[in-house]
Amino acid sequence: MTALSPTIRIPPPQHEPDLLAGAVLRSLTRPLYRRVSVGPLLALLASVISGGVLPLLLLPRWLRDLIAQEQQQLWHLAEWMRLQSGDVEAADLQPLSQQVRFNIPLALLTWSCCGTALAVFFAHFSERSLTPGELGRFVFSVPRGPAPLLYVVAISAAAVLHWIHVVWHQLNVERYIRYFNHLMLRQQQPELPLPTLELGLRPVWIALGVGLSAAGGLWGLPLMLAAAAHRRYTTRSSVRQRAELAERLRAMLLQRRPMMLVPRPISVMRTCIRPNCRATIPTVANFCPRCGTRALAPAMEVVA
């Protein structure tokens, strides 16, 4: 009589819940409760008050917080695909999730440019009185002299570096989604739409940047473009992508385990974008039933 091998795995009954899948669903739909971006008016105010330095000190830190959560969520999804999808190619998704990471050299370069601008500022005013007129001529006027020119170059370089950082991260996420779509085709599931690359070319942000540049702050336009790309990705693209990934996971669970009740996560349901409302919005509605705010377009529905 042959003894049973202890390495043989007995698959769980279909009616039992998939705890790992439930954890992945909750992870994908978990919001980031701390601030990760600012709107155009607040970005403009912070730029005017600090000469463009304060937003560029905060934006890389906020991007780091968002990337840390996204990397964890995408890794959990890749782990579930590797363990439960039954696809031998699913193991290649994990290395792609590890590529979704915070670019420390780009962030350090951004902060170094901000530090250079601050050093130039204090060195310039160590020999002059810090009056409103002199401050305005230094920060918000066409550079006349090496110190103001170096300040403009440093702030503009920091803004361009952060813009590159945001775009670089989006390309890493797109690479992950492309391979995830390849796995979806093998699982006979619909593909996710590829994310739109957010470059910050938004009318309001461009107008504010042009206004700052016209007022003499030549660093204003690159700063506003970087802040716009950051804002659009963190509040729109990232949220939509994670909701669609959660929907695909839910569809696979319904396909593979038809006897198991797979509830739709509340975060995948549309909620009002106003922080003081957050009411659930029906699928067919275009406005919040509680406060009347226009709702975001729903993620693609999956029919199981």
Q: What are the DSSP calls for 19-52, one per residue?
A: HHHHHHHHHHT----S-----HHHHHHHHHHHTT
**161-205 per-position pLDDT tens digit:** 999 999 999 999 999 999 999 999 888 888 888 888 999 999 999
What percent helix, strand, coil does the chain show, rounded to 5?
60, 0, 40
Higher pLDDT, residue 31 or 259: 31
**What six digits make up the tokens of 161?**
């570096």
pLDDT tier, 302 (very low <50, low <70, confident <90, very high otherwise): very low
**114-150 per-position pLDDT tens digit:** 999 999 999 988 888 888 888 888 888 888 889 999 9
pLDDT tier, 303 (very low <50, low <70, confident <90, very high otherwise): very low
In this prediction, residue 71 carries a pLDDT of 92
Residues 244-260 have a mean pLDDT of 76
Higher pLDDT, residue 95 or 129: 95
Higher pLDDT, residue 42 or 269: 42
d(CA 245, CA 74): 9
pLDDT tier, 304 (very low <50, low <70, confident <90, very high otherwise): very low
Tell me the sheet residues that pair with 287: 294
For residues 93 and 82, the answer to whether their CB atoms sit within 8 Å is yes
d(CA 183, CA 204): 39
Does the pLDDT of residue 259 top 50, yes or no? Answer: no
Of 140, 141, 145, residue with least CA distance to 49: 140
Residue ranges of domains in the chain: 19-256, 269-304
Residue for token pair 């600090």:
50
Please tell me whether residue 287 adopts helix, strand or coil conformation. Answer: strand
Q: ∠199-97-67 over CA atoms, to 5°?
A: 50
Alpha carbon of 270 to those of 26, 36, 157, 294: distances in Å?
Answer: 15, 20, 38, 11
Sort 87 into a burial class: Cβ within 10 Å, 0-12 / 13-18 / 19+: middle
**28-86 per-position pLDDT tens digit:** 877 776 788 999 999 999 999 999 999 999 999 999 999 999 999 999 999 988 888 77
Report helix angle 146-186 to 132-139, nearest 10: 50
Q: What are the DSSP calls for 218-251, one per residue?
A: TTHHHHHHHHHHHHHIIIIIHHHHHHHHHHHHHH
